[in-house]
Amino acid sequence: MISHKVLIVGGGLAGLRAAIESSKYADTAVLSRVHPLRSHTGAAQGGINASLANIQANQDDNWEKHAYDTVKGSDFLADQDAVEVMTREAPERIIEMEHWGCPFSRTEEGKIAQRPFGGAGYPRTCYAADKTGHYLLVTAYEQALKQKVVFYNEWFATSAIVENGAIKGITAFDILTGDLEVFTANAVVLATGGAGWLYGKSTNSMINTGSGMAIAYRAGVALKDMEFVQFHPTALYPTCILITEGARGEGGYLVNSKGERFMQRYAAKAMELAPRDIVSRSIQKEIDEGRGVKDLYVHLDVRHLGRNKILSNLPGIRDIAMQFADIDPINEPIPVQPAQHYTMGGIDCNTKCETTIKGLYAAGECACISVHGANRLGGNSLLDTVVFGKVAGEQAGTFAKNTPQETRKEALFGEALKKEKEQIQRLFEGSGDEDTALLREEMRGLMVEKAFMFRSKDGLVEAKAKLHQLQTRLGKLRPIARYKVFNLDLIRAIELREMLELAEVIVASALSREESRGSHVRLDFPKRDDTRFLKHTLAYKSPDGPRIDFSPVKIAKWQPEERKY
């Protein structure tokens, strides 16, 4: 048994920012399935939004305009009180990262440089070349080291231990030894990132399997707005590695097989810098209507920006295009297609990052506060992690400090450990012949086929039935290889169980929302329906699968209006 006052599950930017804050108040440890520097934050490229007004073109910008753009981008589903917290605090949180050493690109005056991004009225995306996520992650990790935060790297969390509606700890196993342990804590912050790997086409890291969401869901916390899945317009064909929105922010064009800048047809004013849901649908439409290149992708053309600008502001995507598609964007257009990119939904929590379990908090992509609503704006995800990572850390730290350390809970912890050991034992003793990799790929294919950008009742009902079959087949797995040290077979079996559960939630939530809003498009309900669906979806675990409920959206200044770009 290992004890800390605060335990943070996940070592990406949200988890690290939470740890930096929490350690000011109470003994804090971070538990992560990978070394923190391997977290998916490092793959974020384009930037982080704040109304710093650092350049000539954004002198009139302020947090309220940032808030409005965010709310409009969310198709009015974001909670406006939460958006206010995020956009008001944005400048302070980003300047703090700069003070801690983040190597932002600079204006001629030496200020943090800003570039235009999709759906934003002003160029307010602060950037560090096209590797902003990597630099922010490294900076936060450095600060966590400075603060002497304790790290449990390569530990895989499996469940939350809850008693009388309050968190008591978690169970986790050490990937390097296979040992299962109980971690006790007064407060736990879940910061495990998104669930992109549920989709066969995704820009995400392979570790983004939604672990923390599944843990919270099984513990009885609702998952909110899970039908809202962001599809990024420009994933490299065919590997789906991200090509930053910054490429369009710098002036890149989207071009179809006829050489047309087709965004003219869909968002004449914003063009390539319309929000992601709109650009992704437009690309897919071009491909579906026969104007895709080889019917597979469209071109992202940055050649006209010139060699120097590409080398200084987009060096990372040039490397990616060269290494993974064998093309140099200085000389050739980049083949791109839409792919799953971000999980707008997540663990239901409020603006203090509190869940319905006392002492359990969530932050970052695994959480749904909600600041992104039905469609997240580019540059707002890194912002979400630093703003609400700090909030979660502060809340967890002060809560844990003021809560007396639990004395003896041996029965509770012993029971939790026994239950997890039995789960793993059952995997080792499987008597069927179903294979985890095959089931996983079937699920990932199904999600692309039936729960991607364009959805319908028929497709979703079919997906629901097929997921049910996959669940049944999951019960007939072949025996998982028995081994203690670094057992990938075991990890991937546990992941699959979690991913299937989340896939069911996405499909059930998408079925319940009979309207089209932001990233969620129902071909059978093509219009937004504020009368019936200006509300959040809540999915609770029940023996019969996800039970769907709803909660109101917090509207403050901005009444829903039609989105035009």
Partner 1 sequence: MTTTASPPKKIRLNIQRFDPKTDTAPHYDSFEVTTRPRMTVLDALFQVQETKDRLLAFRYSCRSAVCGSDAMFINGKQRLACNTQISELGDEITIAPLPHMPVVRDLAVDIGPFFHKIDKVKPYLVSREPYPIKEFLQSPKDRLKIDVAIDCIDCGACLSACPSAWTDPNYLGPAASVKAARFVADTRDIAQTERLKIVGCEDGVWRCHTIFNCSDACPKSIDPPYFIQYLKRKATIAALKH
- Return residues touching partner 1 (CB under 8 A): 34-35, 37-40, 42-43, 95-96, 98-101, 103-112, 131, 134-135, 138-139, 142-143, 145-146, 176, 205-207, 238-239, 241-242, 316, 319-320, 323-327, 332, 335, 435, 437, 480-481, 483, 485-489
Q: What is the dihedral of CA 455, 458, 459, 461, to 10 degrees?
A: 110
Burial class (CB in 10 A: 0-12, 13-18, 19+), 230: buried
User: Contact at 8 Å (CB) between 118 and 47?
Assistant: no
Q: Which is nearer to partner 1, 197 or 413 (CB)?
A: 197
SS3 state of residue 493: helix
Write b or e for each residue in 320-337: b if 16 or more Cβ atoms lie within 10 A of its Cβ, otherwise e: bbeeebeeebbeebbbbb
Closest CA to 78 of 357, 380, 352, 506: 380
In the complex, minimum distance from the CB of residue 101 to partner 1, in angstroms, rounded to a whole number: 3
In the complex, minimum distance from the CB of residue 72 to partner 1, in angstroms, rounded to a whole number: 28
Sort strands 28-32 and 223-224 into parallel, antiparallel or unpaired. unpaired
Q: Which is nearer to partner 1, 257 or 456 (CB)?
A: 257
In the complex, minimum distance from the CB of residue 417 to partner 1, in angstroms, rounded to a whole number: 23
Phi and psi at residue 166, in whole multiples of 5°?
-125, 145
In the complex, minimum distance from the CB of residue 115 to partner 1, in angstroms, rounded to a whole number: 14
Closest CA to 293 of 269, 245, 325: 325
Using only C-alpha atoms, the chain has a radius of gyration, in whole angstroms, of: 22
Q: Which is nearer to partner 1, 83 or 207 (CB)?
A: 207
Q: Which is nearer to partner 1, 461 or 488 (CB)?
A: 488
In the complex, minimum distance from the CB of residue 478 to partner 1, in angstroms, rounded to a whole number: 9
**Whole-number Cα distances in Å, 130 to 102, 312, 359, 395:** 13, 9, 37, 32
SS3 state of residue 220: coil
In the complex, minimum distance from the CB of residue 311 to partner 1, in angstroms, rounded to a whole number: 11
Half-sphere exposure of residue 11: CA atoms within 13 angstroms, side-chain side: 29
In the complex, minimum distance from the CB of residue 480 to partner 1, in angstroms, rounded to a whole number: 8
Burial class (CB in 10 A: 0-12, 13-18, 19+), 285: middle
- Please give the span between the terminal C-alpha atoms of the chain, in angstroms, as a whole number: 55
In 10 A of CB 168, how many CB atoms? 23
Q: Hey, which bits of 430-542 come out as E strands?
A: 454-455, 521-522, 535-540
Length of the chain: 565
Catalytic center residues:
232, 248
Q: Which is nearer to partner 1, 288 or 319 (CB)?
A: 319
Q: Which is nearer to partner 1, 190 or 243 (CB)?
A: 243
Token digits of residue 19: 């740890």
Q: Which is nearer to partner 1, 108 or 544 (CB)?
A: 108
**What single string gives the DSSP state of each residue in 396-459?**
HHHHHHTSPPP---HHHHHHHHHHHHHHHHHHHT--S-B-HHHHHHHHHHHHHHHSSSEE-HHH
Token digits of residue 460: 């979703």
Query: Tokens 């997890």 map to which residue?
Result: 420
Closest CA to 250 of 318, 304, 298: 304
In the complex, minimum distance from the CB of residue 299 to partner 1, in angstroms, rounded to a whole number: 9
Angle at 78 between CA 75 and CA 81, to 5 degrees: 140
Partners of 171 in the β-ladder: 159, 182
**Whole-number Cα distances in Å, 265 to 112, 120, 258, 333:** 35, 20, 14, 21
Q: Which is nearer to partner 1, 141 or 361 (CB)?
A: 141
Sort strands 28-32 and 150-153 into parallel, antiparallel or unpaired. parallel
In the complex, minimum distance from the CB of residue 416 to partner 1, in angstroms, rounded to a whole number: 27
In the complex, minimum distance from the CB of residue 252 to partner 1, in angstroms, rounded to a whole number: 17
Q: Which is nearer to partner 1, 126 or 274 (CB)?
A: 126
In the complex, minimum distance from the CB of residue 43 to partner 1, in angstroms, rounded to a whole number: 5
Q: Which is nearer to partner 1, 199 or 228 (CB)?
A: 199
> CA-CA distance, 197 to 541, in Å (whole number)?
21
Q: Is 473 left (phi over 0), alpha (psi -120 to 50) or beta?
A: alpha
Q: Which is nearer to partner 1, 133 or 393 (CB)?
A: 133
User: Contact at 8 Å (CB) between 229 and 455?
Assistant: no
